[in-house]
Structure 1
Amino acid sequence: MTAYGAGEFGSESRVFSVEIRSYNNRYRDIVLMLPRDLQPLEQDLKALIASRIRRGRAEVSVQVAEAGDEAAYDLELNRPLVRSYLEIFGQLAEQAGIDPEVRMEVLCQMRDVILVKPRTVEADAARAGIEEALGRALDSLDAMRVREGAAIEADFIKRIDLIEGYAGEIRKRAPAVVAAYQERLKEKIARLEADTVVDEGRLAQEIAFFADRSDITEELVRIESHLEQFR
């Protein structure tokens, strides 16, 4: 069945978040989306997920963020590029006969002078936090599936009760079917000419034959058994 689960675990330096979306599927299909630094953990995490999800498609997303206000990236000065820019500025100043001084804000606006580097996450160091967040997400997923399953079960029970009521009503009315057929047959005979000879034995045989064909006892027993087993 479809369900959603989320889990989070925080350490002193990082916050690990996991989201799981599951969909109906005949087979088990696990799609795990990890940051590049955590790819070495893929097989172990899939095994953990498979131990809790036996069938269906599960889309699992793992995110890692820095804890608190700490930035998730580092800034680095591209020194070789800065030297190249300064040399070019110096050459331009010399040729143009102007002051070679370069203002800091101008230099910082030049492309790639300041490099933004996301902080790497060591897979082994992050393993415990990710597994904890994943376990919580799986617990959350199971809880939602249980709630959805309970709602579906309640709906099934209502429908079973309804079908049982119909079956009981049919059982009550079944004997009247043969009697009604017998009355209709007698009415047809009564409309025949008065000199028509009625074979009472043949009439009784016809009624018995109809009663046998219209007997639904076996079908009623079968459906009642199926409904009981379904519960």
Structure 2
Amino acid sequence: MPVYSMTGYASTQRSAAAAGSDADARSHTSSRLGLEIRSVNSRFLDLTFRLPEELRQHEPALRELLTARLKRGKVEVRAAIESSSSNLLPDPSPRLLQRLNALQDGVRAWLPDAAALSVADVIRLSATDSTTDTDWSGAVAQLADQALKDLLAAREREGERLAVMLRDRLMQLRALAQQAGPLVPQLVEQQRNRFVERWKEAMALAEGTALPEAAQDRALTEATAFAIRIDVAEELTRLASHLDEIERLLAKGGEVGKRLDFLIQELHREANTMGSKSAALELTRISVDMKVLIEQMREQVQNIE
């Protein structure tokens, strides 16, 4: 199963002749329905619909369609109806003019001071009437289904790009962990030799008041305590385990975003602990480089579904 990003965009459109126009109408009006879906990252599935009044009744069906296929993301659905005509201005039908005249007479019977309809008002109302006469019931479902398929394809392509980037960072983190592994024994050996030298100097100053064996044992004890303080083997082991789990989730695909986000937090914790235990500039550098890579992964994992 592929890895899906929560970022994507898709749009579809369809044209249709306006229904309900008179056969002898001189203008040939057609309408076009456009539908687009945008999605960005979000902790949960957040749906927003921006539909014209003519399509409001389709919102429940659209919501059901999206919730069945999408699990996370802030998703916005926009739809618009545009009309076009072979003439520059719509030609009102006699039926519409009769209806407008009757409505105007009814209004002015109650409100004598109401202004009469102007030519511009009639043209505007006739344009609105030509778009609302088209029945988009079947087209809305088909366009939404096609747009959703295109959106999922776009999210899959983006998810694959993110997976490639994450695998590259995983490889770099493994390389840094391999560099850190041999540093600890070297540091412990250097510190042990340093303790022994210091105790030898201290014994020379004490003119033999302490036994050489006791001094050497104390030096070894201090070296052992130092080795325990700077030992990052446990952190490296957990880090390797987390890297393996991230790689497994990327291969598995599906809804892995929240699990990956948790593992990224754990990686950051191990890198921080390594930095706090660092007793050498090289180990500090490795810890900083790890945290930079992990932060890059965290930013991208936020976009995975």
Please, what TM-score do these two structures have when normalized by structure 1? 0.74
* SS of the residue 1:25 aligns to: coil
The aligned residue for residue 211 of structure 1 is: 227
Q: Name the count of aligned residue pairs.
A: 204
After TM superposition, give the deviation of residue 66 of structure 1 in Å.
Answer: 4.4
Equivalent pair of 2:196/2:219 in contact (CA under 8 Å): no
Q: Aligned pair 1:59/2:49, yes or no?
A: no
Task: Identify if the C-alpha distance between structure 1 residues 26 and 70 changes in structure 2 by more than 3 Å, giving closer, same or farther.
Answer: farther
The aligned residue for residue 251 of structure 2 is: none
Aligned equivalents of 1:73, 1:50: Cα separation in 2:
40
Aligned equivalents of 2:68, 2:59: Cα separation in 1:
14
- Larger helix percent: 2
Query: Which sits farther off after the overlay, 8-17 or 22-31?
Result: 8-17
CA offsets 1:20-47 (integer angstroms, 9 cap, x no match): 1112222222111222122222211221
Equivalent pair of 2:83/2:131 in contact (CA under 8 Å): no
Aligned equivalents of 2:87, 2:71: Cα separation in 1:
39
- Which residue type is aligned with residue 9 of structure 1? R
Q: Structure 1 unaligned segments of length 5 or more: list them.
A: 81-109
- Which residue type is aligned with residue 14 of structure 2? F
Q: Aligned pair 1:6/2:16, yes or no?
A: no
The aligned residue for residue 88 of structure 1 is: none
- Which residue type is aligned with residue 172 of structure 2? L
Task: Identify if the C-alpha distance between structure 1 residues 213 and 112 changes in structure 2 by more than 3 Å, giving closer, same or farther.
Answer: same
Aligned equivalents of 1:215, 1:50: Cα separation in 2:
49
The aligned residue for residue 30 of structure 1 is: 47
The aligned residue for residue 38 of structure 2 is: 21
The aligned residue for residue 139 of structure 2 is: 129
After TM superposition, give the deviation of residue 68 of structure 1 in Å.
Answer: 7.6
Q: Structure 2 unaligned segments of length 5 or more: list them.
A: 1-5, 18-29, 103-115, 248-305
Equivalent pair of 1:20/1:137 in contact (CA under 8 Å): yes
The aligned residue for residue 87 of structure 1 is: none
Q: Aligned pair 1:173/2:183, yes or no?
A: yes
Aligned equivalents of 1:135, 1:4: Cα separation in 2:
14
Equivalent pair of 1:17/1:130 in contact (CA under 8 Å): no
Query: Which sits farther off after the overlay, 70-79 or 1-10?
Result: 70-79
- Which residue type is aligned with residue 173 of structure 1? L
Please, what TM-score do these two structures have when normalized by structure 2? 0.58
Structure 1 residue corresponding to 2:243, chosen from 205, 227, 231: 227
After TM superposition, give the deviation of residue 121 of structure 1 in Å.
Answer: 3.2
* SS of the residue 1:59 aligns to: strand
Aligned equivalents of 2:90, 2:66: Cα separation in 1:
30
Aligned equivalents of 1:140, 1:71: Cα separation in 2:
35
- Which residue type is aligned with residue 234 of structure 2? E
- Which residue type is aligned with residue 145 of structure 1? R
Aligned equivalents of 2:224, 2:62: Cα separation in 1:
70
Task: Identify if the C-alpha distance between structure 1 residues 43 and 73 changes in structure 2 by more than 3 Å, giving closer, same or farther.
Answer: farther
Aligned equivalents of 1:71, 1:51: Cα separation in 2:
44
* SS of the residue 1:29 aligns to: strand
Query: Which sits farther off after the overlay, 156-165 or 190-199?
Result: 190-199
Equivalent pair of 2:81/2:131 in contact (CA under 8 Å): no
Q: Aligned pair 1:41/2:43, yes or no?
A: no
The aligned residue for residue 93 of structure 1 is: none
After TM superposition, give the deviation of residue 230 of structure 1 in Å.
Answer: 0.6
Task: Identify if the C-alpha distance between structure 1 residues 139 and 153 changes in structure 2 by more than 3 Å, giving closer, same or farther.
Answer: same
Q: Which portions of structure 1, spanning 4 or more consecutive aligned residues, are displaced by more than 6 angstroms?
A: none
- Which residue type is aligned with residue 227 of structure 2? A
- Which residue type is aligned with residue 12 of structure 2? G
Higher-Rg member (1/2): 1
* SS of the residue 1:192 aligns to: helix
- Which residue type is aligned with residue 230 of structure 1? I
- Which residue type is aligned with residue 158 of structure 2? E
